[in-house]
Amino acid sequence: MKPQTSKTFRLAPTVVPTFVLACATLAPGMTHADQPTALAPAANVLLISIDGMHEEDLSRYVAVHPTSALAALARHGVMYRNALTPTPSDSFPGMVALISGASPVSSGVYYDDSFDRRLVRAGANCGNATVRGAEVVFDDSIDLDPKRIDGGGAINAERLPRDPARHCAPVYPHNYMRVNTVFEVVRAAGGRTAWADKHLAYDFVHGPSGKGVDDLYTPEIAAVGEKLAAFPAYDNLKVDALLKQIDGRDATGSATPGVPRLFGMNFQQLSVAQKSGDGYRDAHATPGAAIGAALDQIDGSLQRVLDALAARHLDTSTLVVIAAKHGQSPIAPGQLRRIDGKRVLDVVGQSAPDALAKATLDDVGLLWLKQPKFTQAIVNGLRANAEALGIEHVYAGNDMPAGWGRVGRDSRVPDIAIETKHGVIYTHGSKVAEHGGFHDDDRHVALLFSRPDIQAKEIDAPVSTRQVAPTLLRALALKPTALDAVRREGTTSLPGLNFGKGTD
């Protein structure tokens, strides 16, 4: 197995003024204490995923904007300077990590566009054993109408793969989850839950029960198009829903069930800006205009949320968590190398004709084959063309990334995984960054836990975003061991936060 490496990013003194660097390294009041005093349990937990936000984005913004909402949170928070997502660093496995504590080996979720050898494709006859193996795509394509902001009101079951083990029933995203979520644990304990995200396919946050989230709001991102100017308003749909929930109403504002005990949303604007033509200016994550505007917009929305919490006298009892499902790669514009994914598929076809069942290509390559006997020939072909295809490492067989299952034991694990060279994106378009891969730019993300009574500190030790889930439960005085992934993988709570005893 190729060793997994990580780096700890720090803003360069030649790029950031000395006084700003000092603030970014250690904000006023921050310490490096390892033994925090016991904290009272939180009445509510608010989880915010700023998709695409790197640790360096958060550190820089806090340093340069000391009066910002993010800086206010950092002054009373634990900032994790070396938090890494699981691999692959895609939206689905990244979100699964945050809410379940699971790696793909436990969750079975490798990507939002994947394959399962046990399922049957949408529209096929489950009684025909020759059609086993189905593409599993959980994005806007499963909406009744992806051009509408409500996705047409429901998921179209006719576009879902079928499960022979469940009488050929359609496989909804929540059915695909193999582990439970923090939402399910909180609901089982009598707490109300809510979440807002970008696709109807985020039905998977319900967990296997299909009932984890009381108030799930999923305005369809595909309906707003691709113009960056549309995304502040899109994100603010979710912010407005969040404000209603803080006020004790549901996302529509039509009912008054009370403030959720666990709730939150994702911001999408930064991720879109990072992929635009005006991304980062240099390797030190100096933001271009689009990224700077996105961060300002998000911070302004966060201030609205914090003001609403204060107005309802919920600010002192609500734990606010700033996280990210994934980062974005590459940060340095000069390291960008676009390669048409068709070139990868051509090599696969030449190495073993008609062997490919499914390929997913972003800044990672995931290949599912019709038969495992084709694996070695394709691995050899990819390695022989590694330089032309921008390949750093080819995983197969027993050489799979940490946290993945093995072919033959897991019907969903890819036969082959391609780790690209840093900066390589498989695309024929104009995007300047992508996520899904193995590099730090994909995986090294922002992570901050904040509440007014928390002493500000930084944690430099490596942590995983999988550790967020058990920490959320501990903060709510619930047992982390109620999570399947905690029991199966031994996922631990994050260091530096002590919410008392009796919650193991």
pLDDT digits (tens, 9 = 90+) for 97-136: 999 999 999 999 999 999 999 999 998 888 866 678 999 9
Alpha-carbon distance 64 to 257, whole Å? 40
The position carrying tokens 């793969």 is 161
The residue among 492, 440, 451, 426 whose CA lies nearest residue 56 is 440
Show the DSSP H helices in 247-374 as ranges.
269-275, 289-311, 341-351
Mean pLDDT of the chain: 92
pLDDT of residue 36: 59
Question: Are the beta carbons of 460 and 81 closer than 8 angstroms?
Answer: yes
Alpha-carbon distance 306 to 302, whole Å? 6
Backbone conformation region of residue 397, classed left if phi is above 0, alpha if psi is from -120 to 50, else beta: left
Question: Are the beta carbons of 296 and 67 closer than 8 angstroms?
Answer: no
Alpha-carbon distance 418 to 436, whole Å? 11
Tokens of 355: 């062997």
| Strand pairing class (391-396; 337-339) | unpaired
- DSSP H or E run through 169: strand 169-170
- Residues whose CB is less than 8 angstroms from the CB of residue 31 and which lie 6 or more positions away in sequence, other chains included: 455, 456, 457
pLDDT tens sequence across 280-336: 999 999 999 999 999 999 999 999 999 999 999 999 999 999 999 999 999 999 999
pLDDT tens sequence across 195-210: 999 999 999 999 999 9
Is pLDDT of 246 > 70? yes
- DSSP H or E run through 162: strand 162-163
Give the angle subtended at the CA of 100 by the CAs of 91 and 178, to the nearest 5°. Answer: 90
pLDDT tens sequence across 247-286: 999 999 999 999 999 999 999 999 999 998 888 999 999 9
- DSSP H or E run through 78: strand 77-80
Tell me how far apart the terminal alpha carbons of the chain are, to the nearest angstrom: 33
Tokens of 95: 């979100």
At 5, the amino acid letter reads T
Burial degree of 382 (CB within 10 A; 0-12, 13-18, 19+): buried
- Residues whose CB is less than 8 angstroms from the CB of residue 280 and which lie 6 or more positions away in sequence, other chains included: 274, 286, 287, 288, 291, 331, 332, 333
Alpha-carbon distance 70 to 481, whole Å? 31
The residue among 158, 198, 155, 188 whose CA lies nearest residue 174 is 155
Show the DSSP H helices in 247-400 as ranges.
269-275, 289-311, 341-351, 375-384, 386-389
